[in-house]
Amino acid sequence: MKWALYLLLTIVGVVFVAVQVGLLNGQQPDDLGVKNGRFKPPSITRNSVSSQAALHPEHPQRTHASIEPLPFKAGGPADSIKALETALSTLPGITVIERSPYYLYAQAQTRWLRFVDDLEFWVNPASHSIEMRSASRLGREDLGMNRQRIEALRAAYLAMP
């Protein structure tokens, strides 16, 4: 019985050290951004969502990853990206890393284990919407966290004038 307690304490200690040194952050992907009006495809595992999932009909996670884009605000693209950034600031653990008139990249970090997810937003002038992609850097399953975060963001964004 004593060995089980030692084992548990060892596991907790290893996880604590891993969190403190950033081993659970993962690496920022080098293929983020919009190319020819598209984000990269959703992850091949169940840890991402994308408003462009339908552009990849043969993708194994197309249905799981599919979400709707954000509609433009009445003021058009400039007001929409400004409202998006304001909405992002209301959610915990999100840091905007890059912002331009048509693209916004943010990182979301979980509170306890400090996992990092990459969030991308692109103003699509053809559809008058903001396309979105959110993906975990690590793991095969996010237990719906990316979808929950994006839907909370959607609610905050839509509540703004």
The range of the structural domain enclosing residue 76 comes to: 25-159
Q: What mean pLDDT comes out for the span 25-41?
A: 91
Tell me how many domains the chain contains. 1
Does residue 7 sit within a domain?
no
131, β-bridge pairs:
122
Q: How many CB atoms lie within 10 A of CB 87?
A: 20
On whether residue 1 sits in a domain, the answer given is: no
- The answer, yes or no, to whether residue 104 has pLDDT greater than 60, is yes
CATH number at residue 43: 3.30.310.80
* Distance (Å, whole) CA 84 – CA 144: 21
Interval 112-127 mean pLDDT = 92
Average pLDDT, the chain: 89
pLDDT score of 99: 96
140 occurs within a structural domain? yes
Q: Within a domain: residue 13?
A: no
Q: What are the beta bridge partners of residue 128?
A: none
- pLDDT tens digits, one per residue of 48-62: 999 999 999 999 999
